Amino acid sequence: MQHLKPPHPPGGAAQLDGPWPIPTILGEKQDQAAPFSLPPPCTPPEPCRYPKLFPQSCPPLQDSPPRPKHMTVAFLKTHKTAGTTVQNILFRFAERHNLTVALPHPSCEHQFCYPRNFSAHFVHPATRPPHVLASHLRFDRSELQRLMPPGTVYVTILREPAAMFESLFSYYNQYCPAFRRVPNASLEAFLSAPEAYYRAGEHFAMFAHNTLAYDLGGDNERSPRDDAAYLAGLIRQVEEVFSLVMIAEYFDESLVLLRRLLAWDLDDVLYARLNARAASSRLAAIPAALARAARAWNALDAGLYDHFNATFWRRVALAGRACVEREARELREARERLLRRCFGEEPVLRPAAQIRTKQLQPWQPSRKVDIMGYDLPSGRAGPATEACLKLAMPEVQYSSYLLRKQKRRGGVRPRPEPVLDNPPPRPIRALPRGH
C-alpha cells in the first residue's frame, strides 16, 4: 500500500503515486519521512463501499443534514498542471446538471483571450450568466467577480515548478521565441543561461518565466530574492480569493478535498487523464542540478508552490490524513472500473494516430511532442457510450460542443456568430490550440 507523504522540501521531490508524478530528481536524496500509518483494509468490503465510505473512523461522505451540491465554480486553469483534466470534470458536472458554462467569444478562440488580462467582455453572450468557468484566462479578480454570481467558489491548481517548466519547454518549444533560440532544443542549455534567450514582453514570454505567477495575475518579472514582500502580497491575494489550491502531484487527494468543499459525490470527480505526453516526449528523470536551476529561474513560481503545497497538507491534516487517503483510494478504484467499462479491459493511453474516434483525437503541438488519448471500442452506442466519449473528450472539442449546445438551449442560431460592440482583438500570433 502506498501512503500519503508530507510535503517535499524546496528543490527536492518525493516519489509520488498518482497520475502526475514529479519526475525523479537524479542525485537528490528522497524524502525519508516515515509514512503515515493507515488502518487495515475493511473486511468485508461492502461497509466501506461508496457512498457509506469508512464509517468506522472517518466523517461520512454526506453531511447530516445533507448540504446541497454547490453549483457555481470558477476554476483558474493554469498551464501544464493537469488543468485540462479538472476542466473536463467541471464540464461534465455542468452538463449533467444543466448548468451554463462560460465559454470564450470566437475572437478569443478556445480561451479567454489569454495572455491578456481577463475581461467579462471576452465571454460569449450565449454563455452568460454562467454557473461554471474553467477555460484558460489570466486572472483578474474584479472582472471575474463581475461575471460570476455571488457565492461562487474559486479553485485553482499548481504543479512543482521544475517538472512544470520541463513540460512547458517541451510543449511550447515551437511557439515561444525564448525556447526556439536554444540550440538543439536543449533544456539544459536554456537553464544554464536563461537571460541569453529570454526577452521580457515578447510573444509567449509568459511560458518561459514564472508562468504560474502570470496566470494568477502577478508580475512574472518580479523576483522574491529582490522583493520578498511582492511574493508575500501575491500569496495573500490568492488566499483571499481561492477556497482551494490543488496540487497536481497529489491529484486524487486534491479531488477529495474539492469534492468535500463542493459537497459533490465521488462519482462527480471521476476522470480520465487528458493532454498527457507520451513517455518519449518527456524527461523521465530531472537531474538535481537542472531542477535547482529551473526553480531558481522560476523563483516566484517556486515560492507560490512551496507555500500552497504546505497549505494543502494542512488542509489534508484537518480533514484527517487516513480519511483522505482511504477516500482517494476509493476514487482510484472507481476510476479504474470506469475506464475499463468505457475503454476495454486494458484501457491504455494511445497516440493520436491510433485513435479512430475523431472527437477524441487530441491536438498535437508539434511533431516533436506526442499527446496521448483514449479511444472507444468499436460497435458501441447509447447513453453510456456518450458518457464515455465526454470522459475522454479533449478541451477544444468539448468547448465547441458545449458552445453549440448552449446556443441551441438559449435559442441562439448557431450562425452567424454574435458580435461584440467592442470585440477583443485576436492575439497577434495565435496561441497553440491544445494548451
Per-residue CA distances from 404 to 124, 137, 195, 236 (Å)? 11, 21, 45, 39
Report residue 322 as a C-alpha cell.
Answer: 487516513
Residue 311, pLDDT score: 97
Residue 63, pLDDT score: 61
- Average pLDDT per run of 10 along the chain, which is 435 residues long? 42 36 43 32 32 45 75 98 97 98 93 96 97 98 98 98 95 92 95 97 95 98 91 98 98 97 96 81 81 98 98 96 96 95 82 86 74 81 84 94 93 47 43 53
Task: Please check whether the domain covering 70-346 is classified as CATH 3.40.50.
Answer: yes
Residue 287, pLDDT score: 92
Residue 372, pLDDT score: 82
**Alpha-carbon gap, residue 270 to 163, rounded angstroms:** 24
Report residue 377 as a C-alpha cell.
Answer: 471500442
Residue 100, pLDDT score: 98
Question: Where along the chain do its domains lie?
Answer: 70-346
Residue 279, pLDDT score: 66
Q: Which of 227, 190, 196, 224 is nearest to 210 (CA)?
A: 224
Rg (CA), the chain: 21
Report residue 125 as a C-alpha cell.
Answer: 453572450
DSSP collapsed to 3 states, the chain: CCCCCCCCCCCCCCCCCCCCCCCEEECCCCCCCCCCCCCCCCCCCHHHCCCCCCCCCCCCCCCCCCCCCCCCEEEECCCCCCHHHHHHHHHHHHHHCCCCEECECHHHCCCCCCCCECCHHHECHHHCCCCEECCCCECCHHHHHHHCCCCCEEEEEECCHHHHHHHHHHHCCCCCHHHHCCHHHCHHHHHHCHHHCCCCCCCCHHHCCCHHHHHCCCCCCCCCCCCHHHHHHHHHHHHHHCCEEEEHHHHHHHHHHHHHHHCCCHHHHCCCCCCCECHHHCCCEEEHHHHHHHHHHCHHHHHHHHHHHHHHHHHHHHHCHHHHHHHHHHHHHHHHHHHHHHHCCCCCCEEHHHCCCHHHCCCCCECCECEEECCCCCCCCCHHHHHHHHHCCCHHHHHHHHHHHHHHHCCCCCCCCCCCCCCCCCCCCCCCCCC
Residue 402, pLDDT score: 97
